[in-house]
Structure 1
Amino acid sequence: MNSIVVSSIIFASVFASALVGMAVRRALPEDHVGSDAKEVVRLATGLIATMAALVLGMLVSSAKSSYDARKNEVAEMSSEVLAIDRSLAKFGQETGEIRTEFRQMVQAGLDRIWPSQSSRQAELRPGNYSETALNELELLAPKDDRQAAAKVQAISMVVSLKQSQWLMFLKSEQNAVPLPLLVILVLWLAAIFVSFGLFAPPNPTVVVTLALSALAVSSAMFLILEMYTPFSGVLRIAPTPILDALSQMGH
């Protein structure tokens, strides 16, 4: 989902609902908007507002947890990359070419997930670089127990890094906010704003207040959708941990 498009649609729908409420008020008889009717509508609106607030709170909490998890995964993969390089260095000079190729692989992954050109989209699907690295590692012939332990450790960490990459990719492919939940939430918000417009005096101050309220609600949904797409958009996770690992590799 494009967060800007979705949040704009939500803003337009919710604000239009308030305007519809104002228009309906003019067509209703006066006894339909009296104090008794206002009290019933107020109670019903309070119930819907409570449910909407609970769902919004749940979505914000879930989105923040997802965002933090992706951020931690990037840091963990950066640590794994540096640990693999150190294990290869521990093996000896025989891994010099493998270390160079591995660094190039990390650089390619960095450019794939955080493209330097703004016109390109982030691609989280892992390439076949890890398979090449595993094949080259398996061909290494240890001369002693120290090299044998370094080889086993490096292979294990490359496999773990590959699994982490695929897991992050598969999680990113999942739909962030289920469409039925989003539609129901927008309908609830629309109902709330219809009630606001129904009993609000039609003056510029009220209209501006309702517009700002609709903007606040749509902004919340914008943040939720942005946090579910942490490798693109406004809240994109910074590649700082990967850059730090790259600066330490080869030393």
Structure 2
Amino acid sequence: MKERFRRGCATARLTRKTTAGEAHVQAAFGLSYETTVALLTFLCLSAASLGTLLVYDRLPAHHRDDKTLDTVRLVANIFVMLSSLVLGLMVSSASSNFAEVDKAVHAYATEIILLDRALRGLGPDGDPARAELLSYVTVIVGSRGVERPALPAENKSAEATLRDIGVKLAALRPSDPEMISGREQAKAQVNTLLRSRWGLVDRTEGSVPFPLVVSLVLWLSMTMASFGYRAPKNAVVMTSFVVASMLLAGAILLILDMAKPFDGPIQASSEPFIRALAELKL
């Protein structure tokens, strides 16, 4: 038990440090965290490759011999291998988190439909709770977002709506055994919905640690610098370095964006809630 507690505290500290690092990066440039990291990556990679290319002729003669070139190429292989491993790990982590969130979104929408079915079984007594549930789903669909847990006001409003439905159910005093069973089923469904919703909230943070992103950018910069060493100094080579830097920065942007399923261009689909709204209106 103590060991699990220590591991939990260590994980919480790492999460706070990672979040703080992301906040500093975002605040420093006034852009989103993902865009800022991608821009810095592009600048670092371009500067490393073009800087090495332009500075090469000014190096002392013993820094430009064939043995030095062979050593630089060997070291570059290490950075290429590390960068490939980290990129694969980031893609796997972001993709896995996105798939889990997408599955959770579908399950959440299904539980909303099941709650609506349970409320319908209560007859006229369940109509006020059904109306509130319908309003809740309408807001989600109207904003074209799954949930916005990053916004405290919407967070509290959404949870308050679900809890208010539970209060309405608890206030019912049916005398028929079948109606009592239906009320208890609906109350259980509300609790399940609350747990599922907070499960979604817990997955809103990026799944790629900030120190790992910094390490990757450094390794890629060293790799690009080694490519620029003793490369021909012409427009084709320079353009190739700039394009390669842009592509790598774009790849990191997509990975970081996919790691946050409720922000950016790549988001979890709201289609399950659109279908749920259609079911609630029947």
The residue that corresponds to 1:213 in the other structure is: 244
Which range is displaced more, 186-195 or 26-35? 26-35
1:199 counterpart SS class:
coil
8 Å CA contact retained: 2:97, 2:203: no
CA RMSD of aligned residues (A): 2.1
- Structure 1 residues 197, 189: CA separation in 2 closer, same or farther (over 3 Å shift)? same
The residue that corresponds to 2:198 in the other structure is: 166
Please report the TM-score for the alignment, with normalisation by the length of structure 2. Answer: 0.81
Shift of residue 142 of structure 1? 2.5
Shift of residue 171 of structure 1? 2.6
Amino acid at match of 2:65: G
The residue that corresponds to 2:187 in the other structure is: 155
The residue that corresponds to 1:79 in the other structure is: 110
Shift of residue 145 of structure 1? 2.6
Shift of residue 218 of structure 1? 0.8
Larger RCO, structure (CA 8 Å, separation 6 or more): 1
CA distance in 2, matches of 1:179, 1:18: 24
Shift of residue 170 of structure 1? 2.6
Deviations 1:185-206 (A, max 9, x none): 1111111111111121111111
The residue that corresponds to 1:134 in the other structure is: 166
How many residues are treated as equivalent by the alignment? 246
Shift of residue 73 of structure 1? 1.1
CA distance in 1, matches of 2:193, 2:50: 54
Shift of residue 57 of structure 1? 0.5
2:207 is the counterpart of 1:143: no
The residue that corresponds to 1:93 in the other structure is: 124
The residue that corresponds to 2:67 in the other structure is: 36
Deviations 1:125-177 (A, max 9, x none): 343111111000111223323222211111111111111112221331x4543
Q: 1:202 aligns with which of 224, 233, 238?
A: 233
Which range is displaced more, 30-39 or 198-207? 30-39
Please report the TM-score for the alignment, with normalisation by the length of structure 1. Answer: 0.90
List structure 1 segments (4+ residues) > 6 angstroms apart after TM superposition: none
Shift of residue 5 of structure 1? 2.0
Structure 1: give runs of 5+ residues left out of the alignment.
none
CA distance in 2, matches of 1:24, 1:156: 69
1:95 counterpart SS class:
helix
The share of aligned pairs that are identical, in percent, is 28
CA distance in 2, matches of 1:179, 1:100: 43
